Amino acid sequence: MDAIDQVVLNSRMHYLGMAARTIEPAMKLAVLACMDARVDVAALLGLRPGDAHVVRNAGGRASEEAINALAISQAVLGTREVMVLHHTECAMGRMNEWEIAARIEAATGHPFHEKLDCFVDPIAAIVEDVERLKTSTHLAHRDRIRGFMYDLAKSSLTEIFAAQSAL
């Protein structure tokens, strides 16, 4: 059985007997997190199905696509708070844009010219992402945006930055 078949089977087992839930997240929370498989966002934050939206991408960055997803989450589906969740040992902080692009090109045989949100300072990246969200005119609710760092080795979560003013 391949990995996709296994997770499809898991999903059938997981949802057996669960009651229908509303489409709006119960906690009115959206989490922007890295796609790193070592970070189990739901387990880390104690989220159950239906509690929150989780938007994941490389680095957990506030990219245009992530902001679009958060805009839908807020304006259409009722979330009011945003948690930015980065982590230690992130590949987006260990390699620069050119190194990642070269690996993608080597793997596919095609040039890769897309913008990548690499960073040198992981703390500064959290501050940058919170600020980017706080100033985005596409987000209906910008007053409760907070940034956190998850330390993989210590399995600890530390708040780094919070949007200070209601907009």
Residue pLDDT, tens place only, 29-49: 999 999 999 999 999 999 888
Give the CA dihedral 65, 70, 71, 74, nearest 10 degrees.
170
- Strand, helix or coil for residue 97: helix
Taking the C-alpha atoms of residue 28 and residue 34, their distance in angstroms, rounded to an integer, is 20
pLDDT of res. 59: 96
Report the relative pairing of strands 156-162 and 145-151 from DSSP bridges.
antiparallel
Looking at domain 3-162, which CATH architecture does it have? 3-Layer(aba) Sandwich (3.40)
Give the tokens for residue 165. 């003013």
pLDDT of res. 10: 72
Helix H or strand E segment including 12: helix 3-14
Domain boundaries, the chain: 3-162
**Contact, 139 vs 124, CB < 8 A?**
no
Helix H or strand E segment including 127: helix 122-134
Residue type, 153: A
- Strand, helix or coil for residue 50: coil
Q: Model confidence at 166, in pLDDT bands (50, 70, 90)?
A: very low
Q: Taking the model in full, what pTM does it have?
A: 0.86
pLDDT at 18 over 90: no
pLDDT at 17 over 60: no
Give the tokens for residue 70. 């958060």
User: 162-165: long-range contacts (C-beta < 8 A, 24 or more apart)?
Assistant: 162/130, 163/130, 163/133, 163/134
